Structure 1
Amino acid sequence: NIISFCVFLAPMPTFYGIYKKKSTEGFQSVPYSVALFSCMLLLFYGYLKTENGMMIITINSIGCAIETAYLVVFLIYATRKSLISTVKLLVLFNVLAFGVIVFTTRFATNPGPKRVAVVGWICAVFSVCVFAAPLSIMRLVIRTKSVDYMPFSLSLCLTLCAVVWFFYGLLIKDYYVATPNVLGFIFGVAQMILYVIYKDKNKQVRPMGQPKGEPVVATVVDLGAILEMQEKVGVEIGVVLEMQEKPMVAGGEADGGGEKKEEVAVKVICLDLDGEKTVIPSIG
């Protein structure tokens, strides 16, 4: 329970950053919505168990409160598109699906081991979904080559939590608790490996004084806004700015004592590729 509590608290720096920046940036609500749904199911499962249910009830009650707080912060600062998708997800899973599960298991199954087994299997399936939910974050890390959206502390706590709950499930012979945590351990290790791979891949910025024609890579400050814009437009963003500069060049051979002018066309191409803004200047 202590380790599970640490898992629930691990995303707190992320949501504090959202509060400070007043923006959800590129963060997604899917892992927290699914985690809340899983906590609600496990809370119901612990209520049905006649033995060894108090540990499950205690930690998942805390989990429901913490995940709800995270989602409230997310909804406050989310964009309109993220807000609508998150509300739809919450209504679909945490209201409709949970209501159907509680209703059917309470009235369509007999009290006792059979009801516990049905709810246990449902909890096992959605526990797997909780562990699989960060796959979207892992995809974002690979796409942007940035680990800002996948804190190492959360991945580490998830791995430790999976190990502890696996052995706890074995000790009390509750395989609905033990089995999903095998997959949780695998996903946790995969996230930590991904973090190690991409943690040092910083975006590079080339100096402005380099020879012409060589690409200049500039860091994108608001990555979330760029990704959101790409989703709205449906294509990658390309902007071509053309300027003409006419420097004054002194010339004794100019007509009428005037000055000879040389036209220099400067073309700057800004391409937004995989979360990085590439600026390619050329002079001609």
Structure 2
Amino acid sequence: MAALFSMAHPWASAFGILGNIISFLVFLAPVPTFLRVYRKKSTEGFSSVPYVVALFSCALWILYALVKTNSSPLLTINAFGCVVEAAYIFLYLVYAPRAARLRALASFLLLDVAAFALIVAVTVLLVPHHSRVKVLGSVCLAFSMAVFVAPLSVIFVVIKTKSAEYMPFSLSFFLTLSAVAWFFYGLFTKDMYVALPNVGGFFFGIAQMILYFCYRKPGASALVLPTSIDDVDTKETAVAEAEAEAVEMVASTTHPAVAMLTVSTLPVLAELQKMEQEIGTPTPRRGYIKAF
């Protein structure tokens, strides 16, 4: 912790440490999902994309922090993120079906290996030393801005379905706090490449929390389960169980791509919607009770 704190820049150090603490917790959010994967020996159809993108983002910010120097908070949290994301991807590759495993491996090799190696090579061989911070910072900024398309998609899903069941409030709250911490860290260190993306992160976080309160249903369950086998046929029971697992998976896989920004549940939501289109959404029938 001493390496993260500097008496010369106490406010920047304080917000850097706060950002590390919050981001540390958010990086660990998918742990219950992967414990479930380990127990069931199956990835149950969810996407590897958020974890592949997260690893790429962490690697980019580590490269930026190393080139810039004196950026210990960015270096420590993204180094931790790389280790965690690599572990998630490894578990995914071990337990995913063959087709999903090949897709995940291809994404990993393309983005985390080939694309990152290309950026490193161009930075080291073609970019003058005095311009490397600016170039890498611009790359990180552009990538971070692109990531904001994902939260927009989640917001559209919530508005369209008029349900906040796929957008957990607690995660939106902590991601907003993370954006605030990293914004002020960038502000006090005069690093616009860190500060600017988190302005968007803050407003998207606030928008998600407002939507949560607009569309949440107090006392109502997002899911219904049958009271007995006689009340519903086998297909509907299977669908209800699949949806229950999918909602839990969505809640636990919203994930930070870097210490400051988030990758949304869009890939998981897309798969959930595809599943519903293929097998149909169960219609509540007599004999159903609230799940919670």
User: Which consecutive unaligned segments of at least 5 residues does structure 1 have?
Assistant: 209-216, 238-271
Q: CA deviation at 1:186?
A: 2.7
- Equivalent AA in structure 2 for residue 96 of structure 1: A
Determine what percentage of the aligned residue pairs are the same residue.
48
Q: Measure the CA separation in 1 of the matches of 2:204 and 2:48.
A: 18
- Equivalent AA in structure 2 for residue 203 of structure 1: L
Q: CA deviation at 1:170?
A: 0.7
2:205 is the alignment partner of 1:166: no
User: Which consecutive unaligned segments of at least 5 residues does structure 2 have?
Assistant: 1-19, 229-235, 247-269, 287-292
Q: CA deviation at 1:146?
A: 7.4
Structure with the bigger percentage of strand: 1
**TM-aligned CA distance change 1:62 to 1:204, over 3 Å:** closer
* DSSP 3-state at the match of 1:277: coil
* DSSP 3-state at the match of 2:282: strand
Q: CA deviation at 1:145?
A: 5.5
Provide the residue aligned with 1:277 in structure 2.
282
Q: Measure the CA separation in 2 of the matches of 1:175 and 1:204.
A: 48
**TM-aligned CA distance change 1:158 to 1:117, over 3 Å:** same
Q: Measure the CA separation in 2 of the matches of 1:140 and 1:21.
A: 29
Contact 1:162–1:182 (CA<8 Å) still a contact in 2? yes
Q: Measure the CA separation in 1 of the matches of 2:37 and 2:161.
A: 21
Matches within 5 A, 1:139-154: 147=165, 150-154=167-171
Provide the residue aligned with 1:122 in structure 2.
139
- Equivalent AA in structure 2 for residue 171 of structure 1: F
- Equivalent AA in structure 2 for residue 9 of structure 1: L
Contact 2:56–2:112 (CA<8 Å) still a contact in 1? yes
State the aligned residue count. Answer: 235
* Root-mean-square deviation (Å): 3.7
**TM-aligned CA distance change 1:152 to 1:38, over 3 Å:** same
Provide the residue aligned with 1:221 in structure 2.
241
Q: Measure the CA separation in 2 of the matches of 1:70 and 1:2.
A: 20
Matches within 5 A, 1:1-284: 1-50=20-69, 52-112=70-130, 114-133=131-150, 147=165, 150-196=167-213, 197-198=215-216, 200-204=220-224, 220-223=240-243, 236-237=277-278, 272-273=279-280, 276-278=281-283
TM-score, normalisation: structure 1: 0.68
Contact 1:128–1:184 (CA<8 Å) still a contact in 2? no
Q: CA deviation at 1:134?
A: 5.2
Q: Measure the CA separation in 2 of the matches of 1:84 and 1:144.
A: 35
- Equivalent AA in structure 1 for residue 61 of structure 2: L
* DSSP 3-state at the match of 1:220: helix
Q: CA deviation at 1:12?
A: 1.7
**TM-aligned CA distance change 1:34 to 1:134, over 3 Å:** farther
* DSSP 3-state at the match of 1:84: helix
Structure with the bigger percentage of helix: 2
Contact 1:10–1:157 (CA<8 Å) still a contact in 2? no
**TM-aligned CA distance change 1:230 to 1:58, over 3 Å:** closer
Q: Measure the CA separation in 2 of the matches of 1:157 and 1:44.
A: 26
TM-score, normalisation: structure 2: 0.67
Higher gyration radius (CA): 1
**TM-aligned CA distance change 1:133 to 1:30, over 3 Å:** farther
